[in-house]
Amino acid sequence: MKIVLQRTTGASVTVDNRTVGKIDHGLVILLGISDEDTKETVTQMVRKISNLRIFHDENDKMHLSIKDVKGQILVISQFTLYADCKKGNRPSFTGAGKPEHANELYEYFIQEVQHQDIPVQHGIFGAHMQVNLTNDGPVTILLEA
């Protein structure tokens, strides 16, 4: 599993000129899933993300979690995180999970975020999406399981 996590002051995702997900302050999560990933992998990553202290406290130190600031999460499926550009000029995506497996874990990821009592919005798996966000900081973190 590969995740690009971005702290945001606002974000949305649009499919066919229709907004399908929108959050205020919180996190945008670009989620890449491989065939080796499991529900246990998802549970561990969601636990890590929900407790990650990357929001500022009253002393302007990164000391608070998404739960502490009552933030929201926008989850976007992103198989292109598995792009392999070592050979030639066209990326290979053979490391990305098969769609059925990846979609199952994507949906499970969203459920696990909900179980953490964090409001969550999401894109549409496999759709062509436009994602807009204002990166706060900027804070961008790469996570890999």
When pLDDT is averaged across residues 75-87 and rounded to a whole number, the result is 97
In the set 55, 79, 109, 125, the catalytic residue is: 79
Asked about 43 being catalytic, the answer comes back as: no
Q: What's the chain's average pLDDT?
A: 97
Strands 26-32 and 72-77: parallel
Contacts of 23 (CB under 8 A, 6+ apart): 8, 10, 11, 12, 71, 72, 73, 74, 119, 121
Tokens of 23: 């959050």
Contacts of 16 (CB under 8 A, 6+ apart): none
How far apart CA 102 and CA 122 sit, in angstroms, is 15
Predicted confidence band of residue 54 (pLDDT cuts 50, 70, 90): very high
- Is the omega angle on the peptide bond into residue 138 within 30 degrees of 0, that is, cis? yes
Check if the beta carbon of residue 136 is closer than 8 Å to that of residue 60.
no
Q: State the pLDDT at residue 118.
A: 98
In the set 9, 19, 80, 140, the catalytic residue is: 80
Domain around 116: 2-144
CATH of residue 22: 3.50.80.10
How far apart CA 12 and CA 131 sit, in angstroms, is 6
Q: State the pLDDT at residue 62.
A: 96
Asked about 109 being catalytic, the answer comes back as: no
In the set 55, 78, 109, 121, the catalytic residue is: 78
**pLDDT-above-70 percentage for the chain:** 100
Structural domains in the chain (count): 1
Place of tokens 């899933």: 33
Q: State the burial class of residue 118 (Cβ atoms within 10 Å of its Cβ: 0-12, 13-18, 19+).
A: buried
Q: State the pLDDT at residue 58.
A: 96
Strands 130-144 and 18-23: unpaired
The partner residues of 51 in beta bridges, in order of sequence, read none
Q: State the pLDDT at residue 141.
A: 98
Predicted confidence band of residue 12 (pLDDT cuts 50, 70, 90): very high
When pLDDT is averaged across residues 50-75 and rounded to a whole number, the result is 97
Asked about 79 being catalytic, the answer comes back as: yes
Rounded to the nearest 5°, which phi and psi values hold at 119? -60, 135
pLDDT tens by residue, 87-137: 999 999 999 999 999 999 999 999 999 999 999 999 999 999 999 999 999
